[in-house]
Amino acid sequence: MSFTDLLRWILGREQEPETPAAASPKEHRASPRLNFSQGVVQVQGVGDFPLVNLSQGGLALHTRDHPILARAPAGMVLPAKIRLGSVFFETDLKVVALEGGDVGCAFGTLPPAHSRALADFLKPRILGRSLREIDATALKATDPALRLRWFQGDEGTQLFCWTDGDEGPERMEFYFLDSLVSCEKRGRNLQTAYVRTQALGPVGPADRAAIAYHPAPSYRVLRLGRTIVEHSPLPAPIKNLLEDLLFREEKCSFSRVVMADRDRNVVFEMEARSGSLALPVVSLSSNSMTLLPPESLPLKDIAEGDVYQGMLRLPDRKLALTFKVLFRQDYLLGGGLKLIRPCDVEALSAFLAPRLLGKSLETLPPPAETRPFAPQGSRASLFVGIHNTHLLSLVVPPDRLVYGRLVLGDRAIVFDRNALTAYACPRGFIFPTEWDIATGSLERIPHDDPALLAAIHEVLQSARLPEEVRLSWTTALPTVPVPAESTPTKD
């Protein structure tokens, strides 16, 4: 996936999933089954077939009246690749049953990493399906003017929704998988947090002392919460509002870059009524930016609705664009941007993408297995972000990197035995919780490519990492040459 494709994935709403119907009360399954028609099963030597449903133990696919699958005998083994959005793995499928135009299959032996990836895909969707409204009269009312509605699901999933007389949600607290999403006053002040599981009882929200709010909304929590809500049978007013809030916050937080101190030279050069201006860029996305005008600039000099053509000056180049002023408040100037030259889209994406990827990295438990021959006193850490971006490190304090792997977009760089190697993995899926990767299907690329190294350094600087992890990586990586600013060219 290129940086442009990555930004398109970040900014675009994905296809709306079907809300799966609950299984019949008469069904008793070892693992819950999820109706999911958006996956693809590629049977080796036969073709691609749409997925019908999925569970931890197997799947059903539609045969499309294929002459082989439509009459597949029980016990037949089908080597297959399964793609579920960004989740991709290979396994053998054993035919169990034929029903109508569908064939039911059991998975062969799944490697632990594949099994975990499948479980992570299924869990939020199954939790969403389990949500049901229950009687909230046992809970103490905190505001007599608001009606409390209470929804419960499996594994401690709970939604508390306070509504006004018009049934519009005024405040919500959504608990799931040791996490919390809370918002007040119809979506304002949205926050995410970690919640100790034992603090969430069956009769009300968690104790405030057991909640640790994130400094900024967590992409992982927003994404999981939105998936749960999308697959839930919640009432439409509540479901639509909560889903829109989570999507908007996800899009806002992870499509826009707030400039750091090292980006203070990023400015927008334009001609205003009072003359030439070079306004520092406060935040930037692929279609908008916020600027910091000088205090001495008269309010009438730049007004809402004004349109300016100018140059966005990045560290290594200038991009010609049109900027339309949409608001001016609190000493900030914001609006939409449109690149004049289509060839500049990739350049803007290359600037934004590593900063967004780094910003999305969050700490998760490292692999349960100790890496073979790990030095005594070494510490493992794992940070995971959007689109399988992850940083896996084994560090001997204070700053010696023993093993490291950074995957971003369609590139992976590995540090092992004091040497760097880099790979392109346009179709591969590298599991964050596995120490080793199967390099046979990956294309070797130069590890000292300046553009790749610059992106890696930017990811490391943009992420919230322990200093020993950041320092160990920057010590192991080659230095990046300072880019020379390129001048814009005419198409």
Bridge partners of 393, per DSSP, are 381, 404
CATH architecture group of domain 31-130: Beta Barrel (2.40)
Q: What is the pLDDT along the chain (491 residues), one digit of tens a residue?
A: 555 555 455 555 444 444 444 444 444 455 688 888 888 999 999 999 999 999 999 999 999 889 889 889 999 999 999 988 777 788 999 999 998 889 999 998 888 778 888 888 999 999 999 999 998 877 776 677 788 899 999 998 999 998 876 667 888 999 999 999 998 866 678 899 999 765 555 556 777 778 888 887 888 899 999 999 999 999 998 999 999 999 988 887 778 898 988 898 999 999 988 789 999 999 999 999 999 988 877 767 888 899 999 999 998 899 999 999 998 876 889 999 999 999 999 999 999 999 999 999 999 889 888 898 899 999 999 999 887 799 999 999 999 999 999 998 789 999 999 999 999 986 656 778 888 887 777 899 999 999 999 999 999 999 999 999 999 999 999 987 666 555 555 54
Are the folds of 31-130 and 261-340 the same? Answer: yes
With beta carbons less than 8 A apart as the criterion, state whether 321 and 284 touch. Answer: no
Q: What is the CATH number of domain 261-340?
A: 2.40.10.220
CA dihedral 198, 199, 202, 205 (to 10 degrees): -160
How confident is the model at residue 28, as a pLDDT? 46
Domain coordinates in residue numbering, the chain: 31-130, 134-253, 261-340, 359-476
Phi and psi at residue 295, to the nearest 5°: -60, -25
Residue count (the chain): 491
For 233-259, what is each residue's pLDDT tens digit? 999 989 999 999 999 888 877 788 989
CA dihedral 416, 420, 426, 431 (to 10 degrees): 20
CA dihedral 174, 362, 376, 435 (to 10 degrees): 100
How confident is the model at residue 21, as a pLDDT? 47
